[in-house]
Amino acid sequence: MTDRKGDAIETLEYVARSPSRVRILETLSAEGAVSRDALRAEVDVVRTTLQRNLTGLIERGLIRERDRRYELTSAGSLATGGLSTAIERIDAAERLRPVLERIPPAELAFDLERLVDATVVEATTANPYGPVEHHAASLADARHARLALPAAGAEPIKRTREAVEAGAVFELIVTESVAETLRTEPSIADSFATIAASDSVSVSVVERGIPFYLGVIDDAVQIGVDDDTGLPTALLESTDARVREWAIDRFDSLATQARAIDFEE
């Protein structure tokens, strides 16, 4: 490692270790030259802590004091832009982690930065069925849904039936075990038989497993994962156009390996 890279890491560590230092740099980036009192009100730290942080940032060449006001140096402006991007990416990675940690990167054949604005619904102690509830609610208002299902539940089936009765088109790909559940599970079978009888619904079965839930529901894409016991743990939802293209391609590829099934057999 070069000395220059080591200095850069030290400066990054110094800034990132304190939310107050990050806030100072972001404030100066947004507002230009700012007085100490205005910075103190913005950053909300005691005077001595503020002064210590200002001194440290000056020593590292990121800000300067001129006419009793503080402003970014050119180096500070460059560093702050990169810092803001890094923080946004790390924040996104933390938010998306419950889903992404259960899917190998090779399965997601698109730039993961496309997911920065995605919504994640995670199962919690207070609401262990949060992902399922979000998924089910989105089905009720669907116009066209393509769903690859590694599992099935009563509430999503109920919402699917409502959408189909309102004229929605559904394309479903399921595993053999899910197909058996749809045929025989008392809480599901009757409702699903009604759904499957509709001309606007197609159901296909794949012999191999479906590694994660994939849904293309109108303009949105949903990706859902389970824990080791099969319980849903998190659901990601994105409206990014490139992610939707990937999801449709993946669904269509899976469909070529599936065979149609008639639930009236």
d(CA 156, CA 137): 8
pLDDT tens digits, 152-202: 989 999 999 999 999 999 999 999 999 999 999 998 998 899 999 999 999
Between 87 and 129, where is the model more confident?
Answer: 129
Question: Do residues 243 and 216 touch, judged by C-beta distance below 8 A?
Answer: no
All CATH 1.10.10.10 domain ranges in the chain, comma separated: 3-83
CATH number of 3-83: 1.10.10.10
H or E element: which one contains 55?
Answer: helix 47-59
pLDDT tens digits, 224-251: 999 888 789 999 999 999 999 999 999 9
Residue 263 pLDDT: 67
Residue 1 pLDDT: 45
Asked if pLDDT for residue 2 goes beyond 70, the answer is: no
Residue among 223, 213, 216, 215 nearest 151 (CA): 213
All CATH 3.30.870.10 domain ranges in the chain, comma separated: 91-260
C-alpha distances in angstroms, 153 versus 25, 77, 195, 224?
A: 49, 52, 14, 14
CATH number of 91-260: 3.30.870.10
Grade residue 264 by pLDDT with cuts at 50, 70 and 90.
low
d(CA 136, CA 141): 10
pLDDT tens digits, 37-94: 999 998 888 999 999 999 999 999 999 999 999 999 998 998 888 887 888 888 889 9
Grade residue 4 by pLDDT with cuts at 50, 70 and 90.
low
